Amino acid sequence: MTRPRLPILRAAARLAALAVATVGVLLTVATPANAAVPAGRYVALGDSYTAGPLIPTQVDLNCLRSNRNYPSLVTASAGSSSFADVSCSGATTDDILYGGSGQLGIAVPPQLNAVTSNTALVTVQIGGNDIGFSGIISDCAEASLSSPLGSPCKNRYTAGGTDQLQARVAAAAPKVTAVLRAVRQAAPSARVVVLGYPAILPDTGYGCWPVVPIAYQDVPYLRGIAKSLNAMLASAATANGATYADVYTPSIGRDACKGSGTRWVEGLVPQNSAAPFHPNARGEQGMASALLAMLNS
């Protein structure tokens, strides 16, 4: 999900010389039921978890964006009068506000530019790259090779008595707030929804090393970081007049340790068309359903 670009593919390459499948059997994705989504313009902002890298069909190679990601599924169900999906793999909060470059090094304008005064709905899924998602995954996976039953990743990130990852989550909070305030200023009447992140690791227990190469004792630690990130996003949403959509809870039992026909998120070697440690088509469908259920509640 950070500069330097190509983080999604490079993180996996550090662990094994695997080729990420760009073709395969596309999961059948049912269209979510119609919901009370605002009928006007819908703008989707976010990172790779929104964009859907390597899920067919890729419609923007610079941002690795799929036309079967959750914003596309939601807009197809809701019948929005207009739709702009400007999510981009590798995006941070700065990319939303100021722009940056995509996976091919091509400049990407600020995602915020797509939010206009007549926008009715804005979804935001951001923060993972601000805390260094790809680096955390690759560092912890590498560390697991030397101590699969231990907690080498936790030991690294908490050395000296400070939890570096919890500090990163705290540091990302004002950045997410800045994004939400900018969205509100650009579209004062829009409904703004912040999505959390789904579960990569099981919600209980010690994972499934080596299938997902995270050391047993590191699994509870990283699970806690993921929940802290989602809690921060929920708090930022509430504090800034937005709504939080929980996609973690419906993803429990559908993590990367589950079978290829169940999981929402792929592991190091994807068995469904998706990037490593990212949602597959089923995961994008699941997030779309969770978002539509929330909007209809």
To which residue do tokens 């939080």 refer? 244
Lookup: tokens for 287: 């997030």
For residues 229 and 198, the answer to whether their CB atoms sit within 8 Å is no
d(CA 188, CA 118) in angstroms, rounded, equals 9
CA atoms lying within 13 Å on the CB side of residue 119: 26
CB 194 within 8 A of CB 244: yes
Largest CA distance in the chain: 54
Q: How far apart are CA 110 and CA 127, in angstroms?
A: 16
Q: Which residues are known to be catalytic? A: 48, 278
Residues in the chain: 297
Residue 20 DSSP symbol: P
First to last CA, the chain: 30
The contacts of residue 234 (CB under 8 Å, 6+ apart) are: 194, 196, 244, 246
